[in-house]
Structures are given as structure tokens and as C-alpha cells.
Structure 1
């Protein structure tokens, strides 16, 4: 599962990396959570960032609010499940990020948050699918979810799933409406562990109300439940 990620790079950095125009009001995000409105790049508009809600409303749930339950889909079955098949075929997207978070269970009630990034700390893209739906007010809204796959050896120490991180060369293939299904499935593998790093971060990440650079700073495990003012 992927339930929290970051996009802390600047507008200029993201525009250069993805060769797409970012909305002028973009601000770096350090603790992105489900149901929030965040930038994506869609197959319909690959030259610009669009703002979609994280948490898809599947075809069988018309006129329902954005759901926290539908935030991920398994890459192994996304082309077969009725709820996601059409989106996989026609509505694919890139979800720009520069890190994601998972929690390691320590004891019965304690969990330590970890952040995972590329070893070079550059931005990357999750593979995603998107949906359009009409809300109760008759307004058209756009939502997305992140595809997940089996973890590499780095992530598997913390969690049994990880988001699909696309190779940079494969991003255009993922957005290409003419890519064949068998080609797309091949893109959804596990990202190499030797090209990633992980580190512990402040428990400030536990609250979705916190969204500051302190969230992504490296924190020694001994400080996890110490003086929170250290991270202000």
C-alpha cells in the first residue's frame, strides 16, 4: 500500500523534469494524503499538470464522494478488475513525487515512519490511473489512484507492497494512448532496491495536518518520540 507521499521540489524543477507546465499556484508538499487535491500528468494532457483528488470513485459508485478506501490498485490485476479495467485502458496518469512513506511496526502499539526516495533524490513518477465522476452537486471531479506491486528488498523490510515507480524512459509509454496492454503490463515491475534509499523521519508525518519541510528531514530512531520542537 502507498498511503502518503511527498512532492517537495520547486515548480521550476518539476517543469524541467517532466517537460510539462505547472499551475502558477503550486506549492511544495511534504505530506500528501488521500482525498487531497494534487498534481498529476494525464494521457489526455501530457504537456501540463492537472490537479486531481487522490482517492478514486470507481465506475460502480456514481455520485459518491472521493474514497480513502480506493487509493491504490494492484498492478498485477488492474487490467482485469471490473472497477479499474476501463481506466487502465483509457485513463492513465503519472503522479509526480520525490518520496513516499511507510511505517515499521515496533512492538504492539508503536510504529516508526520511514521515507523512501531515489538514491539520487531526484523526482520520479508513480504509475496511476484516473477517473472522472459527477458529485452530488452535479460538478465534474477528477480522481486518481496509485498502482502498487511487490516490494523490493529495501521496502520489504517495512511493508509487503510498494508503489510502482516508472523508469524515466517508460513514462511516455505509460501515457501513450496507443501503447498495447502487454507492453503496459511490462512497465509495472518492482523498482530496483539498489537505486533507492530509506531513512527514518519525524512522527510529525503521522498527522495529515502537518505539511512542512520538517516532515522529510532525516531523524535518528532515538528521536522518534522525543522532543518534537527539534523539528519545528
Structure 2
């Protein structure tokens, strides 16, 4: 499961990388978590950033709050799930990021956080789907989730799933309404391990309130209590 990611880049860097306009300001984010309002590019608006909530509500669940648990979808079954099939066909999105976090379980009660980036630590995009729904106040909200796949060798040493990171050349195709199901499914594969880097980070990342550069710093492996571990 991908439950945290980072986007510590400026508005200008985002606009240049994705060739899209962002209205308003954007501050770099170091510790992004579910339910937060975040920038995405959609099939409906590929040239302008929209801000959606992370945590999708399926179209059959009316008047429900943004979900904290439903934040990912398995890419292997995306066309089979009634709750996601329509979104996959009509409402896909790019989710900009420059890193994500996973936790390596060391023992029954011990977990160590790691950060994963591209080798050049540049921007990339997760493959996502989005949904529109009406809340109990009659307001229209937009939400998204991240598609996941089997891990590559790098991520697999820490976790049994990883987010789908799209190749840069596939990003426009992912948002193209004319892409076929076969073309889209072919993009949902593990990103090459040799093009990624990883390192242990501080357990500061465990708290959503810690949205500072400190959570990105490389450390010796530590568990959630701040104790150094023997195994990294």
C-alpha cells in the first residue's frame, strides 16, 4: 500500500515538468497523507492542475465522506472491480510526486520507514483514477486514489506492493481518452529497480503533522519509537 508520498517541488517546477498551468500558489510538501487536497492532472483537464482529495469514494457510495482507508487500488483487478471500472475507463489522472514512503516490518511490533525516489530524485507521476460525488451538504467533491502493482526488487525488500509509476512517455497516453484498455493495462507495471533509489528515514514521517524537510533526511534505520534497529 502507498500511504504517504512527497512533492517537495515548486509551482514553477511542476508546471515545467508537466507542461500544465497551476492557478494559485503551491508550497512544497514533504509528508503527504490521505484526505488532503492535492494537485493532479486529469483526462478532463490535462493542461491544468486540479486539486482533489486523496481517498476515493466509489460511485455507488453516495453522500459518504472522503475515505481514509480507500486510497489505493490494485492494478491487476482494476477492470474487474465494479467500483473502479468506470473510473479506469473514463476518469484517469496523473498524481505528481518526487518520492514515496513504505515501512519495512522488522518484528511483530517494529517497522522502519524508507523513502523511494527516482535515481535523479526528479519529478514523476503515479497512475491514478478519480471520482466525483456529492457530500451531505450538497457540495461536489473530487477524490483520487493511486494504483499499485507488484514491487520491483528495490521496493520488494521493504514492502509487497508499490505504486504504479508511469514512464514519462506514457503520461499523455494515460490521460488520452482514445487509449485502448490494452494500451492502458500495459502501463501498469513495476518501475525498473535500477532506475530508483531508496534509503531509511526518520520515524518523524509517521506523524502527518511533520510536513518538513526533516522527514526526507537519510538516517540509520530506526523503528517507530526512535530506536535504532540492527536490520535495515
Which bracket does the TM-score occupy, shorter chain normalised? over 0.9
Offset of residue 68 of structure 1: 1.4
Q: Which runs of 4+ in 1 moved over 6 A?
A: none
Structure 2: distance between partners of 1:192 and 1:171 = 16
Residue equivalent to 2:175: 175
Structure 1: distance between partners of 2:122 and 2:209 = 25
Q: Which runs of 5+ in 2 are unaligned?
A: none
Structure 2: distance between partners of 1:137 and 1:222 = 44
Structure 2: distance between partners of 1:223 and 1:159 = 15
Offset of residue 221 of structure 1: 2.2
TM-score (norm. length: structure 1):
0.95
Once the two structures are superposed, residues 118-167 of structure 1 have per-residue CA deviations (whole angstroms, 9 ceiling, x without a partner) of 00110000000000000000000000000000000000011110000000
Residue equivalent to 1:189: 189
TM-score (norm. length: structure 2):
0.95
Structure 1 residues 25 and 215: CA distance shift in structure 2, 3 A: same
**Given the alignment of the two structures, is residue 43 of structure 1 paired with residue 43 of structure 2, yes or no?**
yes
Structure 2: distance between partners of 1:202 and 1:172 = 35
Find the residue that maps to 2:77 and give its secondary structure: coil
Q: Is the 8 A contact 2:2 2:101 kept in 1?
A: yes
Q: Which runs of 5+ in 1 are unaligned?
A: 228-232
Q: Is the 8 A contact 2:71 2:145 kept in 1?
A: yes
Structure 2: distance between partners of 1:226 and 1:156 = 23
Residue equivalent to 2:27: 27
Find the residue that maps to 1:221 and give its secondary structure: coil
Q: Is the 8 A contact 2:203 2:223 kept in 1?
A: no
